[in-house]
Amino acid sequence: MKKMLILMLASTLVFAGSAEEIMDKATAAVLGNNGNKVIDSLVFEATMSAPNGLNAKIMGIQAKGGKLYVKTNINMGSQEMEQVQGCDGVDCYEMNTMMGARMLEGGEKSLLLSQHNLDGMADWRNTYTSAELLGEEDVNGEPCYKIKLVMDGDQHLVQYVSKKDYLVKRIDITVTSVMGEMAMSTYQTEYADFSGYTLPTKVTMEVMQQQMTTTFTNYEFNSKVDDAKFQIPEQLKVAQ
Q: Is 216 helix (H, G, I), strand (E, B) or coil?
A: strand
CA nearest neighbour of 121 among 18, 185, 38, 224: 38
The predicted pLDDT at position 179 comes to 65
Confidence of residue 177 (pLDDT cuts 50, 70, 90): low
Kindly report the CA angle at 21 between 23 and 2, in degrees rounded to 5? Answer: 125
Domain span at residue 156? 2-239
Contact 228, 95 (CB under 8 A): no
Residue 166 belongs to domain with CATH number: 2.50.20.10
Nearby residues of 54 by Cβ (< 8 Å), 6 or more positions away: 48, 74, 75, 76, 212
Mean pLDDT, residues 174-191 taken together: 84
Mean pLDDT, residues 109-136 taken together: 90
**What is the distance between the alpha carbons of residues 152 and 58, in angstroms, rounded to a whole number?**
27
Average pLDDT over all residues of the chain: 88
Contact 211, 205 (CB under 8 A): yes
Q: How many domains does the chain have?
A: 1
Confidence of residue 174 (pLDDT cuts 50, 70, 90): confident
Q: Quote the pTM value.
A: 0.85
The predicted pLDDT at position 51 comes to 84
Higher confidence at residue 107 or residue 178? Answer: 107
The predicted pLDDT at position 63 comes to 95
Nearby residues of 2 by Cβ (< 8 Å), 6 or more positions away: none
DSSP letter, residue 24: H
Per-residue model confidence as pLDDT tens digits over 125-155? 999 999 999 999 999 999 999 999 998 777 8
The predicted pLDDT at position 175 comes to 75
Q: Helix-strand-coil percent breakdown of the chain, rounded to 5?
A: 25, 50, 20
Cα–Cα distances in angstroms (integers) from residue 152 to residues 105, 125, 238, in the given order: 12, 11, 27
Per-residue model confidence as pLDDT tens digits over 210-240? 899 999 999 999 999 999 999 999 888 765 5
Helix (H) or strand (E) run with residue 234 in it: helix 234-239
Per-residue model confidence as pLDDT tens digits over 40-62? 999 999 999 988 888 999 999 99
Contact 117, 127 (CB under 8 A): yes
